Structure 1
Amino acid sequence: MAWVSLFSGGKDSAWALHRALDDGLPVARLVTVHPDEDSFLYHVPATEIAGLAAESIGIELLEIESSGHEGTDSSARGDAELEPLERALRELDADIDDGLTGVVAGAIESEFQTSRIEAMCERLDIDLFAPLWQRDPRTLADAMLAAGFEIRVIAVAAAGLDESWLGRTLDAEAFDELEGLNDDYGVHLLGEGGGFETLVTDGPQMERPLKLDYKTEWDGVRGRLRITDAWLGDS
C-alpha cells in the first residue's frame, strides 16, 4: 500500500497528513503543487517552504508546477490546473511497487476543489481520504491546537482582517476573534475561500520547527508575508 498526501505546508493539508499518519496510512510521498498567483484550485503563498517542512516530517516530497489557462472560465481553469497533478500521480502509480492506493487531501468545504480531486481519483482508480471534509470548523481548529500545531498566518484577503493578522500565531484567543469576525464579516474560521492562508511551523509530525525571516506586505486591503529566509530550528 502507498498513499500520497497533498501538502502545501498550510494547516489543512498538514492536519490531513497528521490524521492519515495517525490512522496508520502508509504515506509514501508528500505532493506539493506550485500554482500561479491567481490559482482557482490550490493554496498559493509560501509553497516554496514545503521542501523544508517535508524534510522535518521525513517523507519524500514530489513538487509539481501547475498553471491555469488565461481567458478561460473558472471551471475550465480548475480542470487545467489539475492536469499536471493527475499526470504526475499517474507516473508515480506506475513507478511504485503495486501502485498507489490513495490520495490524502485537506479539503473542508470547497466543492470546486473536492469534486475535481474525487473525479481524478476515480480516473486513477485510487481512494481519497479527506478527514476535514464538512467537519465543524471550530472542532477542527481546537483539534489542531490540542495536537500541538503551531500555525502562522501568512496572507489575509478578507474584510475584518487587517495588517495585524500577518505573522500572527493562531491560538484559542485568535480563533475566538475569528468567530466574531465570522459573525460580523462572514470570515470563515479556517480561512476557507481564501480569506486567509497559513503555514504550519511546528507540529507532531515535524522533527524540527520551521524558522522564518520575512517582510510584511500590506496594500491597505490585503497583504502577505514575503519570506526572505527559512530554516529548520533545533528539535
Structure 2
Amino acid sequence: MGTVLSWSGGKDAAYALWKMRESDSSVRELLTTVSADTDRASMHGVRRGLYERQADAIGLPIRFVELPGDASNDEYEAVMADAMADYARRGVERVAFADLYLEDVRAYRESRLADAEIEGHWPVWGRDTETVAREFADAFAATVVAVDDDALDASFAGRRFDADFLADRPENVDPCGENGEFHTFVHDGPIFDRPVPVELGERVTKEVGHGDATIHYRDLLAAE
C-alpha cells in the first residue's frame, strides 16, 4: 500500500514515521507546505533547504506544496486537493497524519478527503502524549523552533526538546504541543541515516493569523 506522510519536520511526524517503519514499509514520500513568499514552512518557520537535508538524511523524497503569501483557507484546500488528486493518479492509496487526539482536526482532514480517491491514516492516534514526548526525547534530537506566546515565553524558542524542556514547561502545555503551543525541527534519531547539523539563528517575534497569535520563532541555519 503506497503511503504519503504529511510532514512538518517536527517531533510528531518523525515519531509517526518511526513507528510506521517498525511494521510498515509503505511510506513513499513526505509532503509539506511552504510559503511561496518566504520559502519557509508557515507554522514552523523552517527553511526549505533544511527540509531537503532532513528528507535526504531520512532517505525519502519530499514534495513541497507552495502556498501563496497569507493564503486563505480556500486557497490552502485547493492546492492540497490538487496534490491528493495527483497522488491518487500515481497509485498512492493513503496519506498518513501524525495527529494524536484532536478530534476536530481529524474530522477536518477526513472531510477534505471525503471526495478524494485516497484515504486518511492515523498511525499514532490515541497515544498518550506524555508517553510519546518522553519516548521521543529519549530517542531523537530536536530543537524548538516556534512557541506561542500564550503558552510559553520567548526563552523556550531555540531550546533542545528534551527532559529538561518537558520539566520546565507549564503544566497546562501539552507535552507534545498538540494544541500548537510549540513546534520543533528534528535533526537526528532512529529514522535518520545521518544527523542534520544545525545552528541557532536569530529569534524573531511575529503576529500571525491576522493578529490572532503572537509566535516567537528561533531561526535554524544549516551547519557543516
User: What TM-score, normalized by structure 2, do the two folds share?
Assistant: 0.82
Kindly indicate whether the alpha-carbon contact (under 8 Å) linking 2:44 and 2:146 is maintained by their aligned counterparts in 1: no
Number of residue equivalences:
212
**How far does residue 3 in structure 1 lie from its aligned partner after superposition?**
0.6
Give the alignment's Cα RMSD to 1 decimal: 2.6
Residue 172 (structure 1) aligned with residue 163 (structure 2): yes
Ranges in structure 2 where 5+ consecutive residues have no aligned partner: 207-213
> Quick one: distance in 1 between partners of 2:35 and 2:188?
24
Deviation at 1:123, TM superposition (A): 2.0
- Map of 1:107 onto structure 2: 99
Which residue matches 2:210? none
Would the aligned equivalents of 1:102 and 1:121 in 2 still touch at CA under 8 Å? no
1:158 aligns with 2:149: yes
Tell whether the 8 Å contact from 1:34 to 1:64 is kept in structure 2 after alignment.
Answer: yes
Q: Is the 8 A contact 1:36 1:44 kept in 2?
A: no
Partner of 1:11: 11
| Cα distance in structure 1, aligned partners of 2:94 and 2:205 | 41
Unmatched segments (≥5 aa) in structure 1 = 71-76
Per-residue CA deviation, residues 148-188 of structure 1 (Å, 9 max, x unaligned), is 1112111112346233322211222321222xx02xxx322
The answer to whether 1:230 aligns with 2:222 is: yes
Are 2:144 and 1:144 aligned? no
Shift of 1:196: 1.1
Contact 2:44–2:184 (Cα < 8 Å) also in 1: no
Partner of 2:30: 30
8 Å contact from structure 2 (residues 97, 120) kept in 1: yes
Check if 1:59 corresponds to 2:53.
no
- Structure with greater proportional helix content: 1
